[in-house]
Amino acid sequence: MGLTAEYKTVVDAIEGNVVIQSAEAHFLRSTLMAHGSISGRDSKTLALDVDGRQARVEDLLRLVVKANRPPLDGALSMHAHVVLPTKQEPFLRRVQLQGDFTINGAEFTKRTTEQKLNELSARARGKKKAKVAGGSEAVAAELKSAVKLHSGIATLSDALLAVPGAVASGAGTYNLLNETIDLHGSLTMHATLSKAAGGIKSVVLIPLDLFFKKHGAGAVVPVRITGTYSHPVIKVLLTK
């Protein structure tokens, strides 16, 4: 991966500490701005405040995922405080991060995941079918969340996923080491519960429409996402 950087630092040659007054890094299609320090008496710890306003999420994911192609594409805006202590552990277990991000025009690169997102958007708008990923109706999502990363586990809070017809909000965790997911929250849809279900199920669910209508939305239902990134399990919980 090609990398160019411009930086201004102050080095303490006696203690071996470095103050990073400013740094601007360019790689792939992204630019990150940062400032911070490399300091410590017995071992050195890197601490950076990083801002990305002209960045791509797929570029940053290449730093932390094993797959040849990152799972997500999209324009990224982010701010994070990153700490990298000196430990005899793999990078993903060492790195600590706290910040927030927004991804616009997000598209999942895994075909089955994009299909599920298209299906969700179509059903939330009361449509019967959605075209497969890569078709003319492939949807782009907006993602945003606060995130805290420690020991390879990202804890998400105030998370939001928006697609045409639906908004999912909630919190949970994503394990970068084994790609397991545990997210829970609520799904707000334009369509009623019965219209979103479609088919014979819609007849059964019509009596429940009244119970799941909230704040002018067609339906607001609890949801939970578990499994792994490769095989996510999405459950709608029809309980109050």
Task: Please list the alpha-helical segments (H only) found in 125-191.
Answer: none
Decide: 159 and 173 in contact? Cβ < 8 Å. no
What local confidence, expressed as pLDDT, does residue 187 receive? 84
Residue 34 CA neighbour count, 13 Å, CB half: 24
Q: Write the pLDDT tens digit of every residue in 89-113.
A: 888 899 999 999 999 998 888 787 7
Residue ranges of the chain with per-residue pLDDT less than 50: 132-136, 199-212
Q: Which two tokens stand for residue 186?
A: 């609520």
What local confidence, expressed as pLDDT, does residue 94 receive? 93
Q: Write the pLDDT tens digit of every residue in 145-185.
A: 999 999 999 999 999 989 888 888 999 999 988 889 999 99
What local confidence, expressed as pLDDT, does residue 53 receive? 86
Do you know the residue count of the chain? 240
Which pTM value belongs to this model?
Answer: 0.77
Going by their DSSP bridges, the two strands 181-189 and 141-150 should be labelled as: unpaired
Task: Give the burial class of 206: count Cβ atoms within 10 A of its Cβ; 0-12 exposed, 13-18 middle, 19 or more buried.
Answer: middle
What local confidence, expressed as pLDDT, does residue 198 receive? 55
